[in-house]
Structure 1
Amino acid sequence: MSEILSSPLFLLGTVALILLALFFVLLPVVRGGSAATRLARRRRALEELREDLDPSDYRKRLAKLEQEQADSGGSAISSRGLAGLLLVSVPLLTLFLYTQLGRPDGIDPEPGPNGELRQILGELTSRVRNEPEDIDAWNRLGMIWKQLQQYPASEGAFRRVIYIEPENEFARVELAETLLYASNRAQLPPESRELLDSVLADNPDNQKALWLAGLGAFHEGDERRALGLWIRLRDLLPEGNVRQRVTEQIAQVSDAPQPEPVAESAPAPMTNPHAGIPGMSTGGAGMQAASRDEDSAETGGASIQVEVAVDPTLAGRLAGSETVFIFARAVNGPPAPLAVKRLSASDLPASVTLSDSDSMAQGLSLSVFPQVQISARISRTGNAIASSGDLQGQSGPVTVQDTDRITITIDEVVE
């Protein structure tokens, strides 16, 4: 019942439909009650003809009308009783059937990770419609579409970024990975290889490009180049799960016998090669799902406890029903959040824990990035995208491994 009452629009629609049903149900009953009106009209017409009728004929007709009126009296009472019964029973029966057979919890369902992504997707789509040159929004669209395995849409978003800014490093690497996923093969498509080579020519230390290029070289049978790229990547990474994964992969390739080239039609049977790499997951939708449990089991996971409070000077602006987003983003990484919690303004001050379990996209989690920035934003519209009038607070860069607890004070107004 609380779900129904919490949605005024649904409640108004329900009332309108019940009234419409009552109209069609009661119409025949009401029309049936007009018999008394017809008899009264016949009685008046008979009185007007009284002087023209034979007295015995008049008395006979009058007696007949009086008998009909007497008979219709009970019928009118019965019709009114039936109408009253229907007025009460139809709404009550509708409510009972809906609560027993319907889905009241479907009025305001829990969004879940994909629901959150689709909400953000709608907001970003509106944003790029109004600001078609917004590179950050296009990049975020591409990341979300890729997470939802809508690779053509993801490819289109990253190509739009490259059209606006041909040298955009992030979009080139993500497009290379998207094309790999869309191919559903272990080998890098030719365009992916060209994109990665161009990125590494501009920035030899791009970590994701090093990993993907090394993966492509491995599947082409060029272990020497793969090892060179992965060793360079390992030397760039700080101590932690990611570096350990890369080191293990290097050891596996170094100790393995020389493999034969992999057939084009099947993915190579490597042990989760993307696990623990920033923004990575295995190539192909089917392999992504298979590696998810392995990822969570092998990594210890990271977490940060976040204390959130509102500056007293801004607390008076809140009604309590606003939505609060608490999230972490990589300092040097993709724009998509690594972990998200959602509260209500009435819950503040609050203490929440952001962890790998709050990740909205596979491969984008706290444990795979050395530094993050924690933010808390109060949204008046409930949208995940910041808008004018929202209140926010954020930390500076924090090291995930060295930070257990952090305090965020919401003390800014978004312009």
Structure 2
Amino acid sequence: MTTTFWLIAAVLIALALAFVVYPILFSKPGRQKATDLRNQNLLAYRSRMQELESERTAGVIDEAAYTQLKDELEGSLLDDVGNSPEPRQNSGSHRRSALFVALTSIVAIPAAAILLYQQWGAMDQLEQYRTMVAMSEDDAGRQAQMTDLTAQLRTRLEASPENPDGWAMLGRSYMRIERYRDAAWAFEQLAGQVPDSMSQAVAWGLAAQASFFDSQGAMDEAVTRAIAKARALNPDEVNALGLLGIHAFSQENYQEAIDHWERIVAVAPDHPQLPSIQEGINQAYQRLGIENPALVASGKGVSVRVELAEGLTDSVSADTALFVFARIPGEGRSIPVAVARMTAGDLPLELRLDDRYTMNPSVKISDTEEVLVTARVSLSGNAIPQPGDLQGAAGAAIPVTADDQPPVTILIDTIVP
């Protein structure tokens, strides 16, 4: 419980008491009743006078009748005002009753507020959220506190476990500080908190990944158990498939590795690590001594020349990842029909994007009429744009042709905000 929370709660309770107690102690119902009666009489008098004026104007009554009825109406008003009951002073018993109700409210309202909040409030979730926000701040000062914040989040989650987002953040935080066994435990807890089988499969896949790191790449019992649970819920869980592919590749079972990784390409074509997965597939085919069927060029493609603006050449190292994407125009951030991955040290370079660089065999650049080409220097190595990345794009869509056209120049001159 935080001091700030209780101060705010106290102010709100005081306001609630003011709304209840003030009318009880300071209201004067008798005087209000008398005032209301006088106002009603006055309104009736004015209404009747308007009627008399209208009748006189219309010739319904003459001047003498008008004067007589007006005098009678004024006399009636004076009688009503004179006979109005004077407000009675509050009796002692009424005063004592009001005081009793006020004192009872002062005690009952705060007590009820605290009891109801303990029953239905969410202070534990608030504390978890505040810790999660603090952990998500990615500056150098916060890095030093990551271990303490992770321990605080774990304590709060163990006390109030019904928070899937909290367990997911705890697992990621343990991965960040390289406490992989604890990360696997957190992801297993996450699997018990998410409602649907697909989300449970993802949680078990993440647990398998954490255990794989903990075992330093060995396919031990913890890893195989988590993979089995993930694939029992979803045979195509991508984290599990990725680990199986890595293990098969390390055992020189290249065809098995290809099968697992190509399945990821088929079921998750927008996977953020797809270029790396595709590169692994290509290497597996090379180890088998055969050409990747998906990368056999059809001859159709686009030729580009990628350059880095002079003012940015000193801001990136030679081994920084460089991606060149070709997308179908008019489809927003659609899946690229071709992606080439190189390094900034290769710049400037000339490149022909064709079916050798396809990400998904079912969506090839040779099947399109024209493409938009973008080049990005990724400081994080991630194909998804991140703030600080350097980027450039062709000014217009480039026709896809079978013959080798002069390259279109793409200048990388923009920093991703």
Q: TM-score range by the shorter chain?
A: 0.3 to 0.5
Q: TM-score, normalised by structure 2?
A: 0.34
Considering Cα pairs closer than 8 Å and 6+ residues apart, tell me whether 1 or 2 has the greater RCO. 1
Q: TM-score, normalised by structure 1?
A: 0.34
